[in-house]
């Protein structure tokens, strides 16, 4: 029974890797959302040595204008999918807390998006986070989560690297994480 489960997990990983490789064949650029919408790009960066991860999030409008950026550092991450799904959850919470109306959250984790949409099996370690994300998406019908190629998420990586360079080192367990808002001038 365990061997069958392990083989099933390997097959699922191979299938997902194939989908990601196919999606990454053509170069991608960031595309603005439709008129009147906002887009939040999210990226997670794992540090296996310190059992923590950082989340970078950037909100831009339909003209591509940078509106807000946020960086969060959390600890106790078991798997990469945990970091990615928690990133989506934090973006949804942030959008709701800022009273944003029409939001597209983009993340470069195909498995996270497929799991949220019910097209992939929920991993037990992240099931509670997936359920919270789904609750936000039901409560806010004008919020959506989409997969985006890594190349189209570069602004988030830049944002996260800036936060590292100015030494955001606060580590938080289950408490509300600290945030950093950076002005547009940091990206020019």
What are 99-158's pLDDT values in tens digits? Answer: 999 999 999 999 999 999 988 887 788 899 999 999 999 999 999 999 988 765 655 544
pLDDT value for 144 = 97
Domain contains 15:
no
Q: Is residue 40 part of a domain?
A: yes
Question: How many domains, in total, are found in the chain?
Answer: 1
Kindly provide the b/e burial profile for residues 92-128, where b requires at least 16 CB atoms within 10 angstroms of the residue's own CB: bebbeeeebebbbbbbbbbbbbebbeeebebbeebee
Percent of the chain with pLDDT over 90: 38
pLDDT tens digits for range 47-90 = 767 777 888 899 999 998 989 989 888 777 777 888 899 999 99
Is the four-CA dihedral 153, 157, 159, 160 of positive or negative sign?
positive
What per-residue confidence (pLDDT) applies to 123? 78
Pull the structure tokens for residue 103: 């939001």
Radius of gyration, CA atoms only, the chain: 16
Domain hosting residue 125, numbered range: 28-187
Q: For the domain that residue 46 is a member of, what is the CATH number?
A: 3.30.420.10
Tell whether 4 is covered by a domain: no
Cα separation, 153 vs 157, in Å, equals 7
Assigned domain for 19 exists: no
Q: Is residue 6 part of a domain?
A: no
Structure confidence at residue 163 (pLDDT): 42
On whether residue 16 sits in a domain, the answer given is: no
For residues 176 and 27, the model is more confident at 27
Please state the pTM of the whole predicted model.
0.70
Is residue 74, in this structure, part of any structural domain at all? yes
Q: Is residue 14 part of a domain?
A: no
Predicted confidence (pLDDT) at residue 181 exceeds the cutoff of 50: no
């Amino acid at each position: 029974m365990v061997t069958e489960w392990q083989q099933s997990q390997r097959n699922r990983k191979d299938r997902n890797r194939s989908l990601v490789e196919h999606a990454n064949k053509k170069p991608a650029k960031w595309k603005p959302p439709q008129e009147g919408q906002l887009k939040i790009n999210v990226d997670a960066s794992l540090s296996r040595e310190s059992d923590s991860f950082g989340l970078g999030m950037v909100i831009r409008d339909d003209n591509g204008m940078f509106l807000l950026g946020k960086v969060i550092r959390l600890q106790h991450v078991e798997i990469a999918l945990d970091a990615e799904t928690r990133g989506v959850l934090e973006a949804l919470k942030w959008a709701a807390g800022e009273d944003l109306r029409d939001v597209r959250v983009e993340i470069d984790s195909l498995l996270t998006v497929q799991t949220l949409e019910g097209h992939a099996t929920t991993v037990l370690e992240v099931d509670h986070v997936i359920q919270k994300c789904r609750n936000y998406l039901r409560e806010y019908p004008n919020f959506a989560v989409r997969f985006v190629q890594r190349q189209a998420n570069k602004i988030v990586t830049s944002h996260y690297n800036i936060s590292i360079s100015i030494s955001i080192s606060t580590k938080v367990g289950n408490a509300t994480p600290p945030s950093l808002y950076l002005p547009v001038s940091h990206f020019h």
